[in-house]
Chains A and B, each alone.
Chain A
Amino acid sequence: METIQKKVGEDVNSELALVQAAKKGDLEAFSELVKRYDRNIFRIAQHITHNEEDAQDVVQDAFLKAYQNLEQFQGNSKFYTWLVRIAVNEALMKLRRRRSDKTVSIDEDVETEEGSMPREVADWGPNPEQLYGQSELGDILKKTIQGLPPGFRTVFVLRDVEGLSTEETAEMLGLSIPAVKSRLLRARLQLRERLAKYFKSKRSGDGQP
């Protein structure tokens, strides 16, 4: 445990050192930060925008904005938390532009009751993902998560795909902890409900052994 904590501490320290060097104009140091987080930012951006071109723009714009505003980064939170916050805002802006008739925000569809009470209660087989080939499974998972409101899928991606804590997610999205928990529950339940049609066991519910 001590070793793990020490390693985390070292990572944060080296990250802080890179940020400090970048603030003083060291482009190499900033390039290290780009290499460290570009994959994560791309995944998050692609999940929010559903569009590869937009996701590429978000990656570039988010890092450029972070570089130009490094002076404003106080070091109270982790650099990555601050960077994701910038990237999420950029991605939501892209989405807004594509759907110019709608307001897209992290608060969207909060009042919906869909998925708050499960309707689908048939069990799934032991390894339901093995029913499909890798690329077909990928398509199913993409299609399913794209159907969630942006606010729900952003919380799900940060918490369950990227493995960030509830506290970090709340800070990144400017939400309260109960708000993150409530969106996460609804996102998980809605995804479960929608995936059931692909994964539920054909034999369950028919009363046969």
Chain B
Amino acid sequence: MNCKDFLKELTDYLDGTISVNVRAELEEHLIWCRDCHVVMNTTKKTIEIYRDNRLYELPEQLRSQLQQAIMNKCKASKQTRKSSS
């Protein structure tokens, strides 16, 4: 396996959906290729950082306002449909 092949398999490797044989080849490549080892570790870290530091959480107050607005619109839409049928 060379570095280009390693990159092709990286997503399946990180997601744990790689076949046993390809996994063994990839891990052998990682033993001697420092660059790919760094790419693998830092890509994994990238995913973890985004997963663990969720951006854009909806503040509770805004959340209740949005829920209210949605339900008002749904109610109005239901009444319009009723009166037109």
By a beta-carbon cutoff of 8 Å, the part of chain A in contact with chain B is: 25, 27, 30-31, 34-35, 38-39, 42-43, 46-47, 55-56, 59-60, 63-64, 67-68, 116-118, 121-124, 128-129, 134, 137-138, 141-142, 145, 156, 160-161, 163, 166, 181, 184-185, 188-189, 191-192, 195-196, 199
Contact = CB atoms under 8 A, between A and B. Distances in A.
What secondary structure prevails in chain B residues at the interface with A? Answer: helix
Interface residues of B, number: 40
Contact of B63 (A38, A137, A141, A185): A38
Nearest to A126: B45
Contacts, number: 122
A185 B38 contact: no
B54 A161 contact: yes
B46 A123 contact: no
B1 interface: no
Given A27-B74, A27-B75, A64-B74, A42 B47 contact: no
B31 interface: no
A107 B14 CA distance: 24
